[in-house]
C-alpha cells in the first residue's frame, strides 16, 4: 500500500504493470488500481483534459481508410465539411427563409456562416440598404407609421441610436403608440433635443 500511495501519479497501465512485477501479483488489473486511487483520494495531477499549451498526439495526422489498422468504413462516420446531421439538420432553415423576431420584426436568413447572430437580418434593413446604401455606423432604422410589418424603405428612417430613448418612452413620449398626427411632432422634437445635446457636448 505504501508503494501504491507513493507511485499513485503513474499512468494506470504502467502503474499496474510495475506493481505486479515488483510484488509478483497476477490477480491485479488496472481497473482495480484506478478504483483504489479514487477511494483513497490519491491525486495523479492529471485532469483528463488538454491543458493550454499541450498538443494532441494525433494533431496533423490523417485518417486514410484501410491503413494503420483503421477500418475501411471509417470515413462513413466522420463529419464532412459543411455537413449537417441530427437535430441540427432537422432545425436547419435555408437561406431566404423568413421569420418573425420576438420584437415583431420580419427577419430573413441571409447566409449560413459565422457569426451566427448575423445570419438573420430584418427585412426592412435589407430593403432600406438596397435603396439607400449601407446603414451608417451608429444609426438605426425607426418605423415611421408604427406598422413594423410594412418593410417598404419609405416607411423607415435612419436615426442616431442615441436618439431612440427620446422616442421610446424614456422622456414621457411614446412614438410607436402616439396618434398619427402627433408622430411628426415627436420625431422633430427628439431630433432637436438630440442635436442640442450634441452641440452642447462639443462646446464642453
98 and 194 co-located in one domain: yes
Indicate the number of domains in the chain. 2
pLDDT value at position 80? 67
Examine the domain organization and report whether 34 and 102 are in the same domain: no
Helix (H, G, I), strand (E, B) or coil at 116: helix
How high is the pLDDT of residue 65? 59
Question: pLDDT at position 52, please?
Answer: 76
Q: Examine residue 75 and state whether it is found in any structural domain, yes or no.
A: no
CA-closest candidate to residue 161, choices 141, 145, 178, 186: 141
Verify that 107 and 199 share a domain, yes or no. yes
Residue 140 lies in a domain: yes
Instruction: Verify that 98 and 4 share a domain, yes or no.
Output: no
Q: 63 lies in a domain?
A: no
Residue 103 shares a structural domain with residue 172: yes
Angle between helices 30-40 and 12-23 (to 10 degrees): 100
Q: Is residue 159 part of a domain?
A: yes
Residues of the chain with pLDDT under 50: none
Residues 118, 37 within the same domain:
no
* 147 within 8 A of 132, measured Cβ to Cβ: no
Q: Which residues of 147-159 are buried (b: 16+ CB within 10 A; e: fewer)?
A: ebeebebebbeeb
**Domain span holding position 40:** 1-45
Residue 77 lies in a domain: no
Give residue-wise pLDDT tens across range 151-179. Answer: 999 999 999 999 999 998 777 789 999 99
Looking at residue 189, what is its pLDDT?
A: 94
Of 141, 159, 154, the C-alpha closest to 105 is 141
Do 37 and 111 lie in one domain? The reply is no
Check residue 49 and give its pLDDT.
76
CA geometry: angle 110, 82, 64, nearest 5 deg = 170
Q: How many CA atoms lie within 13 A of 97 on its CB side?
A: 12
Residue 35 and residue 121 share a domain: no
Is residue 78 a part of any domain in this protein?
Answer: no
CA terminus-to-terminus distance, the chain: 77
* pLDDT of 48: 72
**What pLDDT shows up at residue 124?**
97
- Give 126-157 pLDDT, tens digit per residue: 999 999 999 999 999 999 998 999 999 999 99
Amino acid at each position: 500500500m505504501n508503494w501504491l500511495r507513493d507511485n499513485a501519479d503513474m499512468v494506470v497501465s504502467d502503474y499496474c504493470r510495475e506493481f505486479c512485477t515488483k510484488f509478483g501479483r497476477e490477480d491485479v488489473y488496472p481497473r482495480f488500481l484506478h478504483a483504489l486511487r479514487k477511494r483513497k483520494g490519491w491525486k495523479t495531477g492529471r485532469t483528463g483534459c488538454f491543458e493550454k499549451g499541450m498538443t494532441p498526439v494525433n494533431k496533423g495526422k490523417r485518417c486514410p481508410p484501410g491503413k494503420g489498422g483503421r477500418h475501411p468504413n471509417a470515413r462513413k462516420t466522420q463529419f464532412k465539411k459543411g455537413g449537417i446531421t441530427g437535430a441540427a439538420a432537422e432545425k436547419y432553415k435555408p437561406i431566404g427563409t423568413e421569420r418573425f423576431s420576438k420584437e415583431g420584426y420580419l427577419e430573413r436568413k441571409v447566409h449560413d456562416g459565422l457569426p451566427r447572430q448575423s445570419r438573420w437580418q430584418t427585412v426592412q434593413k435589407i430593403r432600406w440598404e438596397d435603396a439607400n446604401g449601407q446603414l451608417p455606423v451608429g444609426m438605426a432604422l425607426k418605423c415611421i407609421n408604427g406598422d413594423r410589418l410594412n418593410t417598404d424603405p419609405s416607411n423607415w428612417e435612419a436615426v442616431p441610436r442615441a436618439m431612440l430613448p427620446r422616442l421610446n418612452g424614456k422622456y414621457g413620449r411614446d412614438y410607436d403608440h402616439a396618434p398619427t398626427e402627433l408622430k411628426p411632432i415627436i420625431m422633430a422634437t427628439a431630433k432637436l433635443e438630440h442635436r442640442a445635446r450634441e452641440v452642447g457636448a462639443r462646446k464642453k
